[in-house]
Structure 1
Amino acid sequence: MQHINLGDLRVSRIGLGAMGMSHGYTDSGTDEAESVRTLHRALELGVTLIDTAEIYGPYVNEELVGRALKGHRDEVVLATKFGLVSHGGAGAWTLDSSPDNIRSAVEGSLRRLGTDHIDLYYQHRVDPNTPIEETAGAVGELIGEGKVRAFGLSEAGPDTIRRAHAVQPVSAVQSEYSLWTRGLEERVLPVLRELNIGLVPFSPLGHGFLTGTIRSTDEFKEGDFRYGNPRFSGENFQRNLRIADEVQAVAEQAGATPAQVAIAWLLAKGDDIAPIPGTKRVARVEENTAAESLRLTDEQIDRLSSLPPAAGETHPEGARQMLER
């Protein structure tokens, strides 16, 4: 496994997103033992970047990761997120990146993760009610106290990134980025490279769509992120199957799986990119990490890059309003 830098953090080229082990999908939270085995197998394969958040569950995903990493803490760069739980009474799915709320959030995350420090602490979504300078300053204080090593942002736009970075250096920005979600290439990615900030793409497999295994949405239950999602609905879904078919065709040519091709395409975009494909299964983490050794040809990269944009928005309207893209 190769490694890259996210600011001063040295991380594996491919990380692991733990969200789906507890949250977001139809069968999330149904097999904790397999999730723990998946985390341990990831470590064996050289994965060092492990990603979670207090909102996943809420809380239970951090607890799961904390239990799984007991005795392995020094082997990982542990990332979690604040800002989608208001600890002053409003509760989960409430934007709150005020300094007082960050103080409450970090103590809970440290306790659940069973650690005395968080390596990479992201603002989960930009809070329009709190100046980003105040949020960055609060995380900077935690860094000074040794409770946090590095500051990150998630789904932040160029102006927010610049303003935050001016107060407290931002090590990484986490955003959805894949063959079917490429909006950050024009506005965000140039700013990250100007400021030497790493990019951590989440959902690099399009919530499973780019693996080619999803040919129907019938199995999605209410509560699954994909249930009623614009890209997984009606005519949009049928049009988007053509993208999956093209990825499959390149995979057959490359002697790889569609998932590996989708991840390898991201890795080819630069050595400042560390995707975090999420899974709760050992077989999938083995498949995904093997993408690190796949080298696509220039022709294959161009073919993939020329695919049409996915039909439909990435999120329903309410969730989309929290994104800066």
Structure 2
Amino acid sequence: MTSSLPRFMPRRALGRTGFVATAVGLGDIADRAVPRASLVDTLRRGLDAGLNVIDTAPNYEEGLSEEVVGEALRGRRDGVFLIDKVDEHDAPVAPQVEGSLRRLGHERVDLFVFHAVSEPDAWRRLAAPGGGMEQLGACVREGKARFRGISSHHPDVLVAALRSGLCDVVMFPLGPFVDTRYVDDVLPLARSLGVGVVSFKTFGAGKLLGDTEGYGRPLTARPRGKVGSGGHDDRGAPVLPHLSVEECVRYTLTLDPDVMLMGMSHPNEQDAALHAANAWAPLSDETLGHVRSRARAAIDGKGAVWWNPPAVSDVG
């Protein structure tokens, strides 16, 4: 038996799209270890709580995510802002868009973004005449999507994309452990240009909450000598530092993206995340600094932090 969820109301227009979005959105929920019907029910449970932004992609469990999202939205597509991705940057765009629409079983997506545009050269190719952004613009004109944009794990790429004027919405990491350029450079620039902001990495790919190299992958080399507040586990091994769901959610909402995406594949995950979001109040600068410090400790030794790349001098 799961607890009832708080009710969320639309609070802010998502950039120049005009769509008034809830502060929290539903991220990738695909998990082949979970029965498909359970995934659909969990997604609908979030919709019943009022959440009105859903994100998916073809490469989330090889199309399963799109199929689950499409099924969950049958009969309730109105009033939901649906985000999908173009995974292959250098392949023709139209066939990828059409494949996604087939798996979804819907005629149109609100926003298609190029997925993980995290290398400067990748953005240059997409922005070039005849490149992916121009092809995606044609899909918008044909009514297969309403808006276009990118998701990225590179602050400098995002700045270049925003300055190009080609993006209606950008998606990027915001949370207790992200490069300060996302907060100091990308976020205010998007605001000034009227470009929507959808954030991810609230939990640092799960690294901030548990002992993982990201998205449930086990640590290949467990750090030693780092004992968290819990001391040791039942085998005598050091317990690594962690943040709580509430700390991560409160921190990210204080940064104030238009929408904070969270992957919530199970009802208990929804309970924790959505109750934390509902009870949110802005954190003080002092508390933000304290959470950042603890996040550094919680993520240390847990593999690559691919969303915090070094700066580059010229993206184009």
User: In which range does the TM-score fall when normalised by the shorter chain?
Assistant: 0.7 to 0.9
- Judged with a 3 Å threshold, the aligned counterparts in structure 2 of structure 1 residues 49 and 142 are, in CA distance, closer, same or farther, namely same
Instruction: For residue 31 of structure 1, report the CA deviation from its aligned partner.
Output: 2.3
* One-letter amino acid of the counterpart of residue 287, structure 1: A
Q: Could you state the TM-score of these two structures normalised by the residue count of structure 1?
A: 0.74
In structure 2, the residue matched to 1:61 is 65
For 2:192 and 2:225, locate their aligned partners in 1 and report how far apart those are by CA, in whole Å: 36
Matched, 1:200 2:198: yes
- Could you tell me which amino acid in structure 2 is paired with residue 5 of structure 1? A
Name 2:47's counterpart in structure 1. 43
- The CA distance in 1 between the partners of 2:20 and 2:81, in whole Å, is 8
Match for 1:153 among 150, 155, 163? Answer: 150
**What are the within-5 Å matches in structure 2 for residues 1-325 of structure 1?**
1-2=8-9, 3-7=11-15, 8=17, 9-19=19-29, 21-22=30-31, 28-83=32-87, 96-98=88-90, 101-126=92-117, 128=121, 131-133=125-127, 134-155=131-152, 157-158=154-155, 160-165=157-162, 169-183=166-180, 184-211=182-209, 214=210, 216=211, 225-227=215-217, 233-235=221-223, 238=226, 243-244=241-242, 247=243, 258-270=244-256, 272-290=257-275, 291-298=277-284, 299-307=286-294, 309=296, 310-312=299-301, 315=304, 320=306
Cα 1:107/1:45, change in 2 over 3 Å? same
Going from structure 1 to structure 2, the CA distance change for 1:237 and 1:118 (only over 3 Å counts) comes to farther
Contact 1:54/1:81, CA 8 A, preserved across alignment: yes
Shift of 1:62: 0.6
Assess if the C-alpha contact under 8 Å between 2:247 and 2:291 holds in 1.
no
Residues 266, 73 of structure 1: alpha-carbon distance in 2 compared, 3 angstrom cutoff: same
In 2, distance between residues paired with 1:132 and 1:261? 37
Q: What RMSD in Å do the two structures reach over aligned CA positions?
A: 3.2
Q: CA deviation at 1:165?
A: 4.3
What stretches of structure 1 of length at least 5 have no aligned partner?
23-27, 84-95, 248-257
**2:82 touches 2:109 (CA, 8 Å); kept in 1?**
yes
- 1:224-281 superposed Cα distances (whole Å, 9 cap, x missing partner): 844366xx7422894786652xx4xxxxxxxxxx2123112111112x3311110211
Give, as a single letter, the amino acid of the residue that structure 1 aligns with 2:255: K
SS at structure 1 position matched to 2:202: coil
Alpha-carbon distance between aligned partners in 2 of 1:138 and 1:182, rounded to the nearest angstrom: 31
Cα distance in 1 for partners of 2:206, 2:218 equals 15
- Residue 168 of structure 2 contacts residue 195 of structure 2 at CA under 8 Å; is this kept in 1? yes
* Aligned partner letter, 1:180: F
| Count of residues in Structure 1 that have an aligned counterpart in Structure 2 | 280
Any conservation in 1 of the 2:196–2:258 contact (CA below 8 Å)? Answer: yes
Change in CA separation of 1:163 and 1:202 when aligned onto 2, cut-off 3 Å: closer
- TM-score, length of structure 2 as denominator length: 0.75
- What amino acid is the match of 1:123? F
Q: Against the structure 1 CA distance between its residues 163 and 142, is the aligned structure 2 distance closer, same or farther, given a 3 Å change threshold?
A: farther
List alignment gaps of at least 5 residues for structure 2: 1-7, 229-238, 312-316
Change (3 A) 1:77 1:324: farther
Find the aligned partners of 1:81 and 1:40 in 2 and give their Cα distance.
21
Secondary structure of 2:24's match? coil
Q: Distance in 1 between matches of 2:293 and 2:253?
A: 17
Determine what percentage of the aligned residue pairs are the same residue. 25
**Maintained 8 Å contact 2:39/2:265:** yes
Query: C-alpha deviations, 1:281-310, integer Å up to 9, x for none?
Result: 123213312213321552533432444633
| Residues in 2 aligned to 1:114 and 1:324: alpha-carbon distance in whole angstroms | 40
- Could you say what secondary structure the match of 2:255 adopts? coil
